[in-house]
Amino acid sequence: MNSSRIKKNLHIPNVAIIGLGLIGCSWVKALKLAGCAGSISGFDRNLDSMQQALQVGLIEDYSLDITDVVRDADFIIISVPILAVGDVLEQIKDSLTDTVILTDVGSVKGNVSKDVSKILGEKFDRFVLGHPIAGSELSGVSAADENLFKHHKIILTPEQRTCERALDLVTDAWELTGGVVELMSVQHHDEVLAATSHLPHLLAYSLVDTLANSHENKDIFNYAAGGFRDFTRIASSSPIMWRDIFVGNKDEVLKALDLFTADLQQLREVVANEDKTQMMGTFTRAKAARDHFTKILARRAYVESMTSQTVNYIAKPGGKLSGEFRVPGDKSISHRSIMLGSLAEGTTEVTGFLEGEDSLATLQSFRDMGVVIEGPHRGRVTVHGVGLHGLKMPPNALYLGNSGTSMRLLSGLMAAQKFDVEMTGDESLSKRPMSRVADPLRKMGAVIESADNGRPPLRIKGGQPLKGIHYELPMASAQVKSCLLLAGLYAEGETTVIEPAPTRDHTERMLKGFGYPVEVDGPKVTVRPGGKLTATKIDVPSDISSAAFFMVAATIAKDSDITLQHVGINPTRIGVINILRLMGANIEMLNEREVGGEPVADLRIRSAQLKGIQIPEDQVPLAIDEFPSIFIAASCAEGTTVLTGAEELRVKESDRIQAMVDGLQILGVDAQGTEDGAIIKGFGSEGFFNGGEVDSVDDHRIAMSFTIASLRANASIVVKDCANVATSFPGFVELASGCGIQVSVEK
Ligand code: S3P
């Protein structure tokens, strides 16, 4: 809803409330406290309720004759059990003024819509069907709570006939009591509510009834503090109200119930057969879904206003870094561990998995495709592989959030499956180019539809036979390379990808680790179909891309000395170390070793005065994700740093050249963007960043880069919109502040 439209001074002279239950009473109480309602008249079948409402000041008057209550009303709220709405309308239809607006609050909309048509006429345009998604197992006047709707969704289901004036008034009346109005069709509302509200109530009633009738019922209720209590709270709800809901929404409830009954029957078999893997499948999927939901709820409860969910970082100037610590697991390797673990035969154990939103998006996608995945729990994930041909059609579109790697790598895999798939993402991912994967996949025989300009969502048609391809990559991209190699596992003949410059080779290494033959010959990588992946153990090293922020931080902050443990130093990823060393950084690689096919070391970094350089172009693909932090290093250097050959930076999670140059200029740095890079004049050993407010443009790496700039700033730096740091670096603020960066979060 457009809040600018809200009449802040809404005043409805005469309100009539029919049915003095929890929802109706709470709404009029809130309207009254918000100063929106003049006089409120009430009607209820129950005289006691009317007297009580009058006594507590909820209504100004009542009548035993319902028509008295509505005759002068400007706004009528019908808050009676669903099946009684028709009766109420019959009784009041001849007493309505020509301008009165009506609404209801019931949990089913289809049958109320029919009642309105039948009794008030097909064209009656002043009845707005509504349903607040709020309530409790309590009922009656005494339970009225003016805060019941605060931050709760209020669904309105206007129909074609509904007039704008009526919709506006009902919207305002809800929003002014703290509700968040959403519009939906009647049919969709009834479908959604059948699953999310009606079915759970039916199950709660049924379970309590079953257990109460059993022989051991005394014991059950004696020991009912745990699961029983949590699961059955809603069985105390009003039986009449729920009887009506099940009659009113019979068809949709039966559909949801049938689906559930089939799944429950299956779960029965699984328990009877002690099928532990399937149990883990159901339970881990359910837990992930429920945890996700809990987080959404927590976030909603945490913030005062639904519009203020932004996370800003405030970084105070100065500080030095010290300590020995480990940054989270490598994002690229984490993605691949789930993908290849899922396609393998057997159970793959992953440790050090990055519990960031991007890799979790990949994990969830494979769960959606039927793979049983346990965890993550402190970086441990167990993937019960289904083999190359064992994925199942997901029930919905795969939602990949902010993660380009998930979408691009999955494209190759999905193009080879028997089922159709749609892949979507957040606002940033929806703007990123996907033709780079779709075009070569189409050459292999894939059928892929995209939005305009090859952007997501992607719709990939299943059951298409793929042919191998010999493809020269037009850009240095590990994502495109990996996508084609994954498609190549299923394609007829040989798939060869030729890179214009070396890019990260985690896919090739990990395929080999899973026992799948991959031929690497200089820039050429070849796979053939017919092999299989065998489950293995994967120890994910710390992400050099996350370590980069601390490498730069410890370099630019005077008197710093840190050691970053267990960092992946794959030669295709160490561009940042090479570039910083060329600029004069003091980075030592200690204790070099190999874990699971990937080289790893501890990195000791001490402060150093940097000098500006021309960044060698051959290092660009090897440092592609680290340029935002390298730009911060360049700003502190003595002399000018010039970056060329990095046009790919313009199509990352944001246009990183623009985002960094804009922010640097705000902080007083002489920085200029070019088509394929940037020119940054460093302020040298005596200089500083100015304080200021910079925009991360929702890009995690931009956010973290400007945060570390504070170490060499002369005033605080506020970095806006940092929520996406969670995509790659959960716990960044805690780790950063633990080692000496003075950053805090403002929500
Ligand atoms: C990635 C490859 C790189 C990198 C991205 C992760 C990967 O993208 O920027 O963060 O895991 O394969 P491109 O291959 O598009 O350069």
410 lines ligand 1 (CB under 6 A): no
**CATH number of the structural domain 312-324+541-746:** 3.65.10.10
| Mutate which of 330, 331, 332, 400 for ligand 1 pocket (most atoms within 8 A of beta carbon) | 332
Question: Shortest CA distance to 456 belongs to which of 383, 403, 528, 393?
Answer: 403
**In this predicted structure, what is the pLDDT of residue 408?**
98
Residues of the chain with CATH 3.40.50.720: 3-184
Residues of the chain with CATH 3.65.10.10: 312-324+541-746, 331-539
Give the integer Cα–Cα distance in Å for 29 and 145: 7
> Which positions are catalytic?
625
Q: How far is the CA of 405 from the centre of ligand 1 (A)?
A: 6
Residues of the chain with CATH 1.10.3660.10: 191-269
**In this predicted structure, what is the pLDDT of residue 226?**
76
CATH architecture assignment, domain 3-184: 3-Layer(aba) Sandwich (3.40)
Q: How far is the CA of 264 from the centre of ligand 1 (A)?
A: 42
CB 725 within 8 A of CB 327: no
Strand order across the 458-460 sheet: 398-399, 421-424, 458-460, 448-449
648 lines ligand 1 (CB under 6 A): yes
| Mutate which of 354, 572, 625, 650 for ligand 1 pocket (most atoms within 8 A of beta carbon) | 625
625 lines ligand 1 (CB under 6 A): yes
Question: Per the structure block, which two tokens stand in for 1?
Answer: 């809803």
Give the integer Cα–Cα distance in Å for 119 and 159: 16
Atom of ligand 1 nearest to the CA of 478: 14
Contacting residues for 671 by C-beta, under 8 A, at least 6 apart: 631, 635, 660, 661, 664, 665, 678, 679, 680, 681
Atom of ligand 1 nearest to the CA of 482: 12
Domain 331-539, CATH 3.65.10.10 — does that match?
yes
3-state secondary structure of 311: coil
Give the integer Cα–Cα distance in Å for 695 and 683: 22
CB 560 within 8 A of CB 606: yes
**In this predicted structure, what is the pLDDT of residue 215?**
66
Give the integer Cα–Cα distance in Å for 573 and 585: 17
Atom of ligand 1 nearest to the CA of 335: 11
Averages of pLDDT over each 10 residues, the chain, 747 residues:
54 96 94 93 95 96 97 97 96 97 96 97 96 82 93 95 96 94 96 95 93 72 76 87 94 97 96 93 87 60 41 97 98 98 98 94 93 91 97 92 96 98 93 97 98 96 98 97 98 98 97 98 97 97 98 98 98 98 98 94 98 98 98 98 98 97 98 98 97 97 98 98 94 97 92
Give the integer Cα–Cα distance in Å for 192 and 201: 14
Q: Measured in whole angstroms, how far is the alpha carbon of residue 501 from the centre of its chain?
A: 34
Q: How far is the CA of 703 from the centre of ligand 1 (A)?
A: 18
Q: How far is the CA of 332 from the centre of ligand 1 (A)?
A: 7
**In this predicted structure, what is the pLDDT of residue 1?**
42
CB 55 within 8 A of CB 32: no
Which residue's alpha carbon is at the smallest distance from atom 4 of ligand 1? 625
Contacting residues for 639 by C-beta, under 8 A, at least 6 apart: 611, 612, 681, 682, 684
Distance linking the first and last C-alpha atoms of the chain = 23
Q: How far is the CA of 437 from the centre of ligand 1 (A)?
A: 13
Strand partners, 542: 329, 567
482 lines ligand 1 (CB under 6 A): yes
Count of alpha carbons within 13 angstroms of residue 341, beta-carbon side: 28
Dmax over Cα atoms in the chain, in whole Å? 90
3-state secondary structure of 717: strand
Q: How far is the CA of 565 from the centre of ligand 1 (A)?
A: 23
**In this predicted structure, what is the pLDDT of residue 233?**
87
Strand partners, 92: none
CB 608 within 8 A of CB 558: no
How many residues appear in the chain? 747
| Answer CATH for 191-269 from 3.30.1360.70, 3.30.420.10, 1.10.3660.10, 3.30.420.40 | 1.10.3660.10
CB 186 within 8 A of CB 192: no
504 lines ligand 1 (CB under 6 A): yes
